[in-house]
Amino acid sequence: MTQKKGIHFEVSERKILLRIMDILMVFLAIYFLNLYPKFDYIEFNKSNYVALTLLAVYITIFGTIFELYDLQKASKFDTTFRNIVITTSTVVLFYLLTPILSPYLPEERIQIVYFYVALIVSILLWRLFYINLIESPRFYKRVLLVGEISNIDGLVKALNTSDPNYKIVGFINSEASTSDSVRFKGLKEFKAADFLSVIEKERISEVLVASFNSEAIIAEVYHDLMMLLERGFKIREYTQVYEELLHRVPIQFVGKDFYKYFPFSRSNDNKLYIFFQRTFDVILAIIGLALGALIIPFIFIGNIIGNKGPMFYSQERIGRNGKPFNILKLRTMVVNAEKDGARWAKKNDTRVTKFGKFLRKSRLDEIPQFYNVLRGDMSVIGPRPERPFFVNELSRIIPFYETRHIIKPGLTGWAQVKTRYGSSVDDSLIKLQYDLYYIKHRSVFLDFNIAIKTLSTILYYRGQ
């Protein structure tokens, strides 16, 4: 069998490619601007390396904040265009406001317009090329799924929505089937006897094995998998791919060998990491409370008009190692919202007041929790603390739910920036998957990523 794999880019490769090419295109635009005699705002030469480096840093940071490197959004022209305009506008504004590192303002202000337009046009041209070529079917990663029919539906749905370039071509049933066996019609099924020929004919790049019980894999399929492995063909296990593409731990697929899936991050016990995290928490909590003190008069007025009742409220939540504490928040619901007992908060919840909706969308209702961060009950980043009633309910239904309590809860977290508000058991399962991913991969880089995405959530008014 001759291996004919198509060219494709991994998720990390595409994100790096987007960042590098954005910067290169901007530098190229500046180079061409320098050919125009009347443009001298920023020159493309070695003596100007500080200003050029600052520009690259600003593009990377604000491009991340305004989701220029979100692969789902980067594959759509309308969303990409909007994000490019917002990013370049912010970059130019900050660039003009840092004249010590960036060039001084030119005498002819029209040069700033040239600079601004050049940034937009250069990045947009590259992104048009990216959408029409890199995001085209010729660069899809073509995948063949090998597994049990009972697992395939949920797995295919999850992976198909995670990466626009990850194309599952079809599947091979790894179990022995009969005429009475259930058939899966959502994906093309290939015969086990045609395994090797399908890989060549369909130009498969990767085989994804999704089997709960490896002992149940029929001998014919197992033999072909071994042959492919010996020839260096890429074979991956579904939980590994699920976690890599969706950035969450697939606990619904984890069985008695759960210990294989939870090699928790060494940062959880790293004293240096914990020290810097606590220092960061204290500094940010002081800044947050100071800013809160400045806007509290306006919130007080809004509360009188829109909420009509106490401005603050306290509620018991579960913290690290299952220890309860009282969280402090700005009230966003009507008084006695749970007089009939605890229940899930839902989208467009009628108990949320009009002013409360604004507080939630802008995340201003979370400001008092900086007091909890200062006390040490919470951290700035971590799993959101849940109420005892729901913890008791969810821990009985969802496996490993209590595991999220091995670190301090957070003001914001991986689940908060990656998914919607939890209003059901299914939503809580997804949130737990993200929380466990954070605990498993906890690092300074991931914390920074969450902080940036939290800024995006606030700026795009997506709080819930």
Q: Are 210 and 152 in contact (CB under 8 A)?
A: yes
Kindly report the backbone phi and psi dihedral angles of residue 126, in degrees, each rounded to the nearest multiple of 5, phi listed first: -65, -40
Domain check: are 126 and 145 in the same one?
no
| Beta strands in 185-301, from DSSP E residues, in sequence order | 189-190, 206-210, 235-237
pLDDT of 245 = 86
Domain count for the chain, please give it: 3
CA atoms of 173 and 221, how far apart (whole Å): 9
pLDDT higher than threshold 90 for residue 103: no
Is 253 among the domain residues? no
| Residue 236: closest CA among 412, 77, 245 | 245
CA atoms of 22 and 123, how far apart (whole Å): 6
Kindly report the backbone phi and psi dihedral angles of residue 325, in degrees, each rounded to the nearest multiple of 5, phi listed first: -150, 165
Is 167 among the domain residues? yes
CA atoms of 147 and 212, how far apart (whole Å): 8
List pLDDT tens digits, range 401-415: 999 999 999 999 999
**What share of the chain in percent tops pLDDT 90?**
41
Please provide the distance, in angstroms rounded to a whole number, between the alpha carbons at the two ends of the chain.
Answer: 54
SS3 195: helix
Domain check: are 293 and 438 in the same one?
yes
Average pLDDT of the residues in 2-10: 61
Written as six digits, the tokens of 155 are: 């797995």
CA atoms of 416 and 410, how far apart (whole Å): 10
Written as six digits, the tokens of 31 are: 């180079």
Domain check: are 304 and 386 in the same one?
yes
CA atoms of 232 and 402, how far apart (whole Å): 40
Q: What is the DSSP string of 19-83?
A: HHHHHHHHHHHHHHHTTSTT--SS--SGGGHHHHHHHHHHHHHHHHHTTTT-HHHHT-HHHHHHH
Written as six digits, the tokens of 128 are: 């048009």
Domain check: are 284 and 432 in the same one?
yes
Is 403 among the domain residues? yes
| Beta strands in 244-323, from DSSP E residues, in sequence order | 312-318
Domain check: are 179 and 284 in the same one?
no
Domain check: are 420 and 335 in the same one?
yes
CA atoms of 141 and 130, how far apart (whole Å): 16
Range of the structural domain that residue 304 is part of: 266-459
Instruction: Sort strands 235-237 and 312-318 into parallel, antiparallel or unpaired.
Output: unpaired
SS3 89: helix
Q: How far is CA 84 from the centre of its chain?
A: 19
SS3 207: strand
pLDDT higher than threshold 80 for residue 379: yes
List pLDDT tens digits, range 20-52: 999 999 999 999 998 888 888 888 888 888 999
Domain check: are 52 and 178 in the same one?
no
Question: Which of 366 and 6 is assigned the larger pLDDT?
Answer: 366
Question: In which band, very low, low, confident or very high, does the pLDDT at 446 lie, cut at 50, 70 and 90?
Answer: very high
Instruction: Sort strands 141-147 and 206-210 into parallel, antiparallel or unpaired.
Output: parallel
Domain boundary among 112, 134, 156: 134
Is 445 among the domain residues? yes
CA atoms of 35 and 37, how far apart (whole Å): 6
Q: How buried is residue 87: exposed, middle or buried, by Cβ count under 10 Å (0-12/13-18/19+)?
A: buried
**What share of the chain in percent tops pLDDT 70?**
90
Is 254 among the domain residues? no
| Residue 141: closest CA among 167, 160, 162 | 167
Domain check: are 144 and 92 in the same one?
no
Domain check: are 107 and 155 in the same one?
no
Domain check: are 221 and 272 in the same one?
no
Q: Are 408 and 382 in contact (CB under 8 A)?
A: yes
Is 255 among the domain residues? no
Written as six digits, the tokens of 237 are: 């296990």
pLDDT higher than threshold 80 for residue 6: no
Domain check: are 223 and 311 in the same one?
no
Is 171 among the domain residues? yes
Domain check: are 110 and 194 in the same one?
no
What is the Rg, in whole angstroms, of the alpha carbon atoms belonging to the chain? 26
List pLDDT tens digits, range 416-429: 888 876 667 888 88
Written as six digits, the tokens of 127 are: 């992104």
Is 1 among the domain residues? no
- Residues 6 or more apart from 225 whose CB is under 8 A from it? 146, 207, 209, 217, 235
Domain boundary among 212, 246, 280: 246
Q: Which pTM does this prediction carry?
A: 0.81
What pairs with residue 146 in β-bridges? 172, 209
Domain boundary among 246, 279, 305: 246
CATH code at 207? 3.40.50.10700
Question: In which band, very low, low, confident or very high, does the pLDDT at 258 lie, cut at 50, 70 and 90?
Answer: low
